[in-house]
Structure 1
Amino acid sequence: MTPELLRERLAQAGDERMKVAEDLFGVADFLRTNSSVQRALTDPSREESDRDALVDRLFAPVVSAVSIQCLHDLVAGHWSRPRDIVHAVEETGCDAVLLSAQFDGVLEETEAQLVAVSVFLQSHRDLRNELSDLSALSPKGRADLAQTVFQSVLGQPSLRLLRRCVGRTSHGHLLGKLRELAVRAANLSGRRFVFVESAHELSDDQKKRLEKILETKLASPVSATYTLRPELLGGLVIRMGTERVDASLATRVGALKRSIVG
């Protein structure tokens, strides 16, 4: 389901936009534990009208009309594996939270908060592990812990997404999921998200110059997040989507050593 179509659907929901997100999260949870329904909703041999009828029968009594429209849009797709629909419904729920934030004028703030949480957790390993350990607490327990720690500094959209990430992300993937959501938020704003790693703190002027260079290269406004990695020794590592530019001193020294040994 494209963000543009979802935006149209949410515009119909008015003040109930966040309810659409909650509906989709609930459906994703249901599908996650019901493989037979996954197969029925993704079976290419079934008519689309049959799949829509199944959606209506299962979910119309408990979710909004706009949420049903979104589910109809989703089951109209083509699927490589039945379980892929679980991921698609989950992602659409996350996008609904982000688009709701955009409707409310707080999307950039939400993006910044998601980045701030990921940076904080990266430097606080014990808390990160506790929030990611599936054996220590229940999904709700992990989500409640995250809320206790972060609710005083997060808005409603970012707190909801954090709870969802913590409750549904397996060990070792929490930071990646938070960053992925920040990237999605930037994309919804028409900006490219860029990760910059440096050995030393960059000044504001250096950041502005770098972002201007990146905007020229990408032909797009950018949203950059900066992380310190002293082991780089100097220089920068920049990631833009699947592209990675490594101009760090550590990499150059390593290449020099290999050339000498070789």
Structure 2
Amino acid sequence: MQGASRGALAAGADRLDALTGAPGADGTGLADDLSAVAVAFGRDASLRRMLTDPARPAALRADIVTSLLAGKISADAAALVAGLVRSRWSAPRDLADAVADLAVRADLAVAERDGKLDDVEDELFRLGRLLDSNGDLALALADGRVPADKRVALMDGLLSGKVDPTTYRLVGRLVAHPRGRSISAGLTEIGKEAAARRERLIAYVTAAVPLTEQQRDRLAAVLKRMYGKQVHLNVDLDPEVLGGLSVRIGDEVVDGTVATRLARAQRQLAG
């Protein structure tokens, strides 16, 4: 998102935080409602254009969407969507994407409240790695020619009873409505949202053997000093690195693996 859309989403996220932070807030219900609205908006281009038309007064746009949603979703969710519709948008499609994004944030707020946000991040990462290594499964989960309920049933057999309920809901919505993304790409986006919720960076670490808790804590502390933020470690094992670590944060890569050092030495000898 660019320009006006980014500002509109930020304002909506602030309102969402106020709702999910209230005592007794039903974050799961709010996420369900927002997800349903996102699907409806995603399917109806004419509705998106009408609700984002700058020539139509903001109050009128809000009244239209409030009338459409009355009795179908909670009052809090309807008010949140009406607030989004009052905002200016760079492109009509951004409205549907923003509502879907807020649905994800509502679910992550539930995980954070329950002290399960780290678990959800880890599960999303592990599932992403599984799909990266199993192309047939990744294609089956995202195949638009297969009815959504059958794709979700496949996901259910894979995850039911094995992951946190928030992870299950997030992945289920992604599989049912991928919004033009691969499942792996969608999982990566959600993982970034989860990390940003704690204002943390995600470090993708490749090691030859599993890291001990002490090693993970020490690495996280070093990276925090380097970047000035909390850093969540996603550790992937690759015996071919032989030893050492490769750490990627955003576009930056620090490669201290033995395999890389050997390759560098061989190039120097060859030169």
Query: Per the shorter chain, which TM-score range?
Result: 0.7 to 0.9
CA distance in 2 between counterparts of 1:218 and 1:67 reads: 36
How far does residue 172 in structure 1 lie from its aligned partner after superposition? 6.7
Amino acid of the residue matched to residue 243 of structure 1?
A: D
- Whether 2:157 is the aligned partner of 1:148: answer yes
Partner of 1:5: 15
Conservation of the 8 A alpha-carbon contact between 2:210 and 2:237: no
Conservation of the 8 A alpha-carbon contact between 1:193 and 1:223: yes
Conservation of the 8 A alpha-carbon contact between 1:131 and 1:145: yes
CA distance in 2 between counterparts of 1:125 and 1:93 reads: 28
- Whether 2:122 is the aligned partner of 1:109: answer no
In structure 1, which of residues 186, 201, 207 is the aligned counterpart of residue 209 of structure 2?
A: 201
How far does residue 130 in structure 1 lie from its aligned partner after superposition? 1.6
- Whether 2:170 is the aligned partner of 1:161: answer yes
Structure 2 stretches lacking a partner, 5+ long? 1-8
Partner of 1:73: 83
Conservation of the 8 A alpha-carbon contact between 2:142 and 2:178: yes
Structure 1 stretches lacking a partner, 5+ long? none
SS, match of residue 14 in structure 1 = coil
CA distance in 2 between counterparts of 1:193 and 1:83 reads: 28
Amino acid of the residue matched to residue 18 of structure 2?
A: E
SS, match of residue 72 in structure 2 = coil
- Whether 2:252 is the aligned partner of 1:244: answer yes
Partner of 1:64: 74
In structure 2, which of residues 86, 95, 117 is the aligned counterpart of residue 85 of structure 1?
A: 95
Partner of 1:185: 194
Amino acid of the residue matched to residue 211 of structure 1?
A: A
Amino acid of the residue matched to residue 197 of structure 1?
A: T
Partner of 2:55: 45
SS, match of residue 92 in structure 2 = coil
- Whether 2:188 is the aligned partner of 1:217: answer no
CA distance in 1 between counterparts of 2:83 and 2:92 reads: 16
In the superposition, the TM-score normalised over structure 1's length comes to: 0.86
Closer, same or farther in 2 for the Cα pair 1:206/1:14, shift >3 Å? closer
1:93-140 per-residue CA deviation (whole Å, 9 max, x = no partner) reads 1111111222233222222222222223333333222212222x2122
Partner of 1:23: 33
Closer, same or farther in 2 for the Cα pair 1:212/1:76, shift >3 Å? same
Name the count of aligned residue pairs. Answer: 258
1:134-165 per-residue CA deviation (whole Å, 9 max, x = no partner) reads 22x21221112111211121121110001011
SS, match of residue 90 in structure 1 = helix
CA distance in 2 between counterparts of 1:49 and 1:13 reads: 30
* Cα RMSD (Å): 2.8
CA distance in 2 between counterparts of 1:251 and 1:38 reads: 53
Closer, same or farther in 2 for the Cα pair 1:252/1:37, shift >3 Å? farther
- Whether 2:240 is the aligned partner of 1:228: answer no
CA distance in 1 between counterparts of 2:265 and 2:52 reads: 49
Q: After alignment, is 90-99 or 222-231 more displaced?
A: 222-231
SS, match of residue 23 in structure 1 = helix
